[in-house]
């Protein structure tokens, strides 16, 4: 890892554009005051709209903020493209994490230079006064933000089908290349274009937004882990965390499949399947929705959530009542008994198998009857299978 870090530190100074000609001098209208290069107390770069980084990236607006840093919309003065620039905090642990993410993104770029497998495209990266900066293609809102701005009005079944198909396809590509994403959630699935039309909803008696295109891209490879690397004990954002992770039984590719099952449910209903912040309550919700946790998993775990192989949970407590009143068996969440809806829930059920060895793989999931209705123009090529079998 130290060798990788040293190598990356050295190449960071090359600004990620060894083969690019120097940028043209900025036009008069694009000139700006020199950025002051100061950080706030949390380590975020202090910037103003109009600042130009590396004589190349002109900041236009702030797109978002996370624990890692900020994402800004920039104009690349060299290519005239609009890009999303992730500016990592000037803090060692976030810098180190960013270097690992860049390593993954470079591997993805090598394996899939034309982005056929729907992972976000890294354009370049550089070190700006202690801030690792990663430039990405510009995309739309996350499927979560679109849902939130639409008052949690769920997506149509056809949109759920198309988004889930693309997600399975993108993550299968990672698995085929010995990677586990480990942080799949609606916030990390971005719409290529969030344009919508307003449609009157008779039930709600108001207009709702109907997304025009359900094309998506997978983002945030900051926690992605190669099969041969050290696996952290706990991964994934709480609501999308697989039982083997909570029970500290070790994890691999199937933990991504569990997360996809939770995401499909959320896109279909506009509700989070496991709305909790506590491990024991999370396991109780799983049992209410999916049935009893297998005895062999309960016996193997070193965690203290079980007593004689049964979940140690008081159903009469206020938390017990909350779970009983707010959770129900999975198929009772279906909003229609039509075949399409039954197929969706059949696939979700297979993705939410407790034992990771019994959980459906993504190559099997892509062949599930739920995806039979994907129109020809939305089908994705499987030609890379030959390449993965050659390795």
Show binding-site residues for ATP: 86
> Residue positions in the annotated binding site?
86
Q: Which of 123, 12, 44 is nearest to 76 (CA)?
A: 123
Residues forming a β-bridge with 36:
none
Token pair 């554009």 in the structure block, residue: 17
Q: Which of 51, 112, 176, 183 is catalytic?
A: 183
| Token representation of residue 205 | 């008696």
190 neighbors 139 (Cβ within 8 angstroms): yes
Using CB atoms within 10 Å of the CB of residue 349, give its burial: 0 to 12 exposed, 13 to 18 middle, 19+ buried. Answer: middle
- Say if CB 293 and CB 283 are below 8 A apart: yes
- Residue 350 and residue 302: Cα distance in Å, rounded? 26
Supply angle C-alpha 386, 387, 391, rounded to 5: 115
Please confirm, yes or no, whether 183 is among the known catalytic residues: yes
d(CA 262, CA 300): 24
What's the rounded Cα separation, in Å, for the pair 362 and 197? Answer: 33
Q: Are 213 and 193 in contact (CB under 8 A)?
A: yes
List residues with catalytic annotation. 183
């Amino acid at each position: 890892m130290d060798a990788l870090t040293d190598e990356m530190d050295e190449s960071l100074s090359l600004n990620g554009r060894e083969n690019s000609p120097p940028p043209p001098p900025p036009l008069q209208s694009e000139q700006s005051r020199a950025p002051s290069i100061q950080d706030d107390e949390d380590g975020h770069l202090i910037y103003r709209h109009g600042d130009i980084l590396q004589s190349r990236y002109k900041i236009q607006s702030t797109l978002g903020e996370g624990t890692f840093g900020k994402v800004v919309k920039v104009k690349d003065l060299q290519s005239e493209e609009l890009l999303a620039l992730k500016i990592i905090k000037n803090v060692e642990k976030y810098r180190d994490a960013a270097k690992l993410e860049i390593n993954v993104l470079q591997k993805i770029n090598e394996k899939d230079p034309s982005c056929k497998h729907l992972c976000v495209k890294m354009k370049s990266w550089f070190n700006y006064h202690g801030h690792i900066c990663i430039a990405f293609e510009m995309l739309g809102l996350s499927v979560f933000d679109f849902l939130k701005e639409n008052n949690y009005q769920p997506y149509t079944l056809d949109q759920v089908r198309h988004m889930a198909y693309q997600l399975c396809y993108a993550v299968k590509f990672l698995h085929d290349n010995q990677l586990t994403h480990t942080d799949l959630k609606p916030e990390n699935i971005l719409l290529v274009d969030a344009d919508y039309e307003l449609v009157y909803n008779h039930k709600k008696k108001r207009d709702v937004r109907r997304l025009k295109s359900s094309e998506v891209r997978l983002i945030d490879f900051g926690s992605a882990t190669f099969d041969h690397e050290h696996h952290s004990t706990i991964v994934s954002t709480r609501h999308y965390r697989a039982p083997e992770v909570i029970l500290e039984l070790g994890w691999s590719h199937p933990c991504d499949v569990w997360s996809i099952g939770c995401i499909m449910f959320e896109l279909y209903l506009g509700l989070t399947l496991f709305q909790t912040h506590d491990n024991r309550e999370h396991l109780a919700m799983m049992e209410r929705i999916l049935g009893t946790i297998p005895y062999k998993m309960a016996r193997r775990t070193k965690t203290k959530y079980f007593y004689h192989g049964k979940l140690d949970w008081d159903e009469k407590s206020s938390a017990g009542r909350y779970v009983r009143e707010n959770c129900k068996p999975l198929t009772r969440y279906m909003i229609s008994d039509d075949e399409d809806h039954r197929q969706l829930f059949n696939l979700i059920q297979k993705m939410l198998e407790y034992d990771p060895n019994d959980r459906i793989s993504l190559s099997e999931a892509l062949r599930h009857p739920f995806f039979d209705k994907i129109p020809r123009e939305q089908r994705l090529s499987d030609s890379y299978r030959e390449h993965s079998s050659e390795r």
